[in-house]
């Protein structure tokens, strides 16, 4: 008698639109809305790889305002806009009138009359970037997208969540994520990546441990959001000052550098001076061995090789940094498509 084949979950189809909704932090988006973003990102990824056109934004324009340097963010938005049928304008603050003091109001009003969305990266000075974006959004008639600010990097964390689910499955309940500071001598990096991770990941089932030396604490409001989200989701969030303890039994590790909150604005070089006390905070093979067998190593890139991480780890079999970076394209496209399109985006899950 022939064996009965196990039934596979049938793909579902959906239609969604969040036209005009700002993407400034993940905190303003409901779990269900983020699930939709991930579903659309997955669908766009499959279409991209299959060479299927997906021009959800024909003849639209998005303005990309950068107050800081970028590789993955700029190119994911520029390439993504093109693939969606739109055009992205790359703008640097030093070449705009904002460098002469033009107000967020005037910038937001005018750019929203010229196009269909405004995306901003303003991440290096605590207390400035997120506030600036919200002021632009107050006056703009189009969605404002946060490409990284001082508080959150919601494009990166969405791609991180997408990557973790691709590798570990959709149900992350009981999985442990270690978010750790790591040493880097290059420059005082923004706090927004670890802050975004601790706020988002507890909402989707992960138990999160944050590790850092005493001087490298995060913004109090992001820590409170992480604790609140963990309570609501029935997950855990804790802070330790020991990288080894954070890695112990982890399913995913994300060790990266960030600057001292108290010195980032006026004295970023002080962050680098203090960091020299903690050169041992590196992700090497023995430390990764404290995590679960086969644990994922992730990093938003660029990584300071030899300082934050050894080549053996970042180029090793547990590293998924290139898959993670690729997903920046697909999640950026999902954000643009769902907030800018004129009609609902149709999508199909795997």
Residues 84 and 207 in one domain: no
The string of DSSP codes covering 303-329 is --BTTTB-HHHHTSTTB-HHHHHHHHH
* Phi/psi-derived region of residue 338, left when phi > 0, alpha when psi is between -120 and 50, beta in every other case: alpha
pLDDT at 9: 62
- List pLDDT tens digits, range 135-161: 999 999 999 999 999 999 999 999 999
User: Residue 87 is part of a domain; what is its CATH number?
Assistant: 3.40.50.1370
Residues 129 and 223 in one domain: no
* Position 46 in a domain: yes
Residues 38 and 65 in one domain: yes
Residues 147 and 216 in one domain: no
Q: What is the pTM of this model?
A: 0.95
Domain count, the chain: 2
Residues 35 and 59 in one domain: yes
* Position 186 in a domain: yes
Domain that holds residue 203: 156-324
Structure tokens at 319: 């590293």
Residues 24 and 130 in one domain: yes
pLDDT at 4: 46
Which residues fall within 8 angstroms of residue 127, CB to CB, at 6 or more apart?
150, 265
Residue 88 CA to its chain's centroid (Å): 20
Question: In this structure, what are the phi and psi dihedrals at residue 262, rounded to the nearest 5 degrees?
Answer: -75, -15
Q: What one-character DSSP code corresponds to residue 293?
A: T
Residue (of 12, 28, 72) closest to 327 by Cα position:
72
pLDDT at 2: 47
Which residues fall within 8 angstroms of residue 310, CB to CB, at 6 or more apart?
282, 283, 284, 285
Residues 88 and 235 in one domain: no
* Position 86 in a domain: yes
Residues 142 and 106 in one domain: yes
Residues 80 and 199 in one domain: no
* Position 30 in a domain: yes
Residues 248 and 224 in one domain: yes
* Position 81 in a domain: yes
Point out the residues of the chain with pLDDT beneath 50.
1-4, 6
Residues 314 and 191 in one domain: yes
* Position 8 in a domain: no
* Position 4 in a domain: no
**Using CA atoms, how far apart are residues 308 and 243, in angstroms rounded to an integer?**
12
* Position 2 in a domain: no
Residues 197 and 280 in one domain: yes
- List pLDDT tens digits, range 34-76: 999 999 999 999 999 999 999 999 999 999 999 999 999 999 9
pLDDT at 1: 44
């Amino acid at each position: 008698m022939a064996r009965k084949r196990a039934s596979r979950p049938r793909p579902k189809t959906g239609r969604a639109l969040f036209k005009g909704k700002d993407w400034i932090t993940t905190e303003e988006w409901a779990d269900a809305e983020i699930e939709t973003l991930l579903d659309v990102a997955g669908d766009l990824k499959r279409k991209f790889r299959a060479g299927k056109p997906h021009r959800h934004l024909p003849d639209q324009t998005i303005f990309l305002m950068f107050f800081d340097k970028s590789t993955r963010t700029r190119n994911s938005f520029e390439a993504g806009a093109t693939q969606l049928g739109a055009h992205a304008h790359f703008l640097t603050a030093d070449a705009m009138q904002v460098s002469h003091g033009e107000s967020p109001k005037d910038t937001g009003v005018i750019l929203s009359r010229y196009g269909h969305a405004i995306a901003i990266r303003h991440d290096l000075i605590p207390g400035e970037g997120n506030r600036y974006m919200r002021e632009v959004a107050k006056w703009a008639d189009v969605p404002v997208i946060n490409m990284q600010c001082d508080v959150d990097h919601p494009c990166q964390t969405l791609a991180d969540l997408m990557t973790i689910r691709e590798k570990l499955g959709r149900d992350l309940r009981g999985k442990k994520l270690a978010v750790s500071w790591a040493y880097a001598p290059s420059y005082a990096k923004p706090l927004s990546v670890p802050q975004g991770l601790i706020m988002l990941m507890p909402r989707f089932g992960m138990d999160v441990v944050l590790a850092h030396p005493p001087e490298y604490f995060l913004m109090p409001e992001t820590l409170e959001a992480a604790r609140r989200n963990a309570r609501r989701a029935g997950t855990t969030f804790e802070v330790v000052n020991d990288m080894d303890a954070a890695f112990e039994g982890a399913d995913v590790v994300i060790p990266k550098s960030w600057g001292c909150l108290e010195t980032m604005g006026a004295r970023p070089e002080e962050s680098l001076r203090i960091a020299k006390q903690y050169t041992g905070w590196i992700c090497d093979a023995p430390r990764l061995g404290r995590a679960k067998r086969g644990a994922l190593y992730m990093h938003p890139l660029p990584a300071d090789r030899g300082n934050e991480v050894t080549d053996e780890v970042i180029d090793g079999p547990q590293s998924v940094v290139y898959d993670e970076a690729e997903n920046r394209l697909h999640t950026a496209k999902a954000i643009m498509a769902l907030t800018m399109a004129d009609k609902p985006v149709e999508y199909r899950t795997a």
